[in-house]
């Protein structure tokens, strides 16, 4: 593999980790959530890593700008649905977060059909950060904050819901010209 494809290879690696993340839940092994959390954290950190490498070494590519958010969505969808099935997140949270992902993906597909790549904005990146950290804390069953009985993972997920709505509205307003087909 050539060095110039490293960020894209990391993104593909993140996608490949998702089935292993899901498998931890369905294998019904002791402490499955810790294994799932470890895989999830590696996948989430790979999101930061591929972006840092791409920017630092000027390896940003249109395919990377397109694939990276898709990899994030695959990981996020798997995690949210797993947490909902596990009883750790209410369905309405998943509906809002996943609904936003489908809307943004729709915009990206329309843009791609016109030869335009829509990169993630700052609010969307913050949403992803809060969501990923929240999911990891929930998977670890809030070990750091259990002393104070503060559901920090859930709080971070609820913040990501607010940021999700904000970024979705922002995306629609900024890209409404794509809907004029």
Two tokens at 144?
A: 């750091």
Tally of CB atoms within 10 A around 153: 23
Give me the count of residues in the chain: 181
3-class DSSP state for residue 121?
Answer: coil
Two tokens at 178?
A: 């794509």
| pTM of this structure | 0.88
pLDDT at 175: 85
- Domain hosting 155: range is 3-180
3-class DSSP state for residue 25?
Answer: helix
pLDDT by residue for the chain (181 residues), tens only, comes to 455 689 999 999 999 999 999 999 889 889 999 999 999 999 999 988 998 999 899 998 888 877 888 898 899 999 999 999 999 999 999 999 999 999 988 888 888 888 887 777 899 989 999 999 999 999 998 667 666 778 899 999 999 999 999 999 998 898 888 877 6
Two tokens at 4?
A: 């110039």
Residue 129 belongs to domain with CATH number? 1.20.120.1760
Distance CA 11, CA 67 (A): 7
**For the chain, how many structural domains are there in total?**
1
Reference 167, options 110, 116, 103; nearest CA is 103
């Amino acid at each position: 593999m050539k060095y110039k494809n490293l960020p894209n290879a990391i993104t593909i690696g993140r996608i490949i980790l998702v089935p292993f993340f899901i498998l931890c839940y369905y294998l019904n092994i002791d402490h499955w959530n810790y294994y799932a959390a470890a895989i999830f954290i590696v996948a989430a950190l790979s999101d930061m890593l591929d972006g840092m490498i791409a920017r630092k070494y000027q390896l940003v590519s249109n395919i990377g700008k397109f694939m990276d958010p898709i990899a994030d969505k695959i990981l996020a969808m798997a995690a949210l649905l797993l947490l909902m099935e596990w009883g750790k997140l209410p369905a309405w949270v998943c509906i809002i977060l996943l609904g936003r992902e489908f809307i943004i993906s729709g915009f990206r597909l329309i843009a791609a059909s016109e030869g335009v790549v829509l990169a993630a904005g700052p609010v969307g990146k913050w949403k992803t950060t809060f969501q990923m950290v929240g999911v990891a804390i929930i998977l670890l069953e809030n070990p750091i904050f259990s002393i104070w009985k503060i559901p920090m993972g859930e709080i971070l997920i609820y913040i990501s819901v607010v940021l999700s709505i904000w970024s979705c509205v922002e995306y629609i307003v900024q890209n409404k010209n794509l809907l004029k087909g």
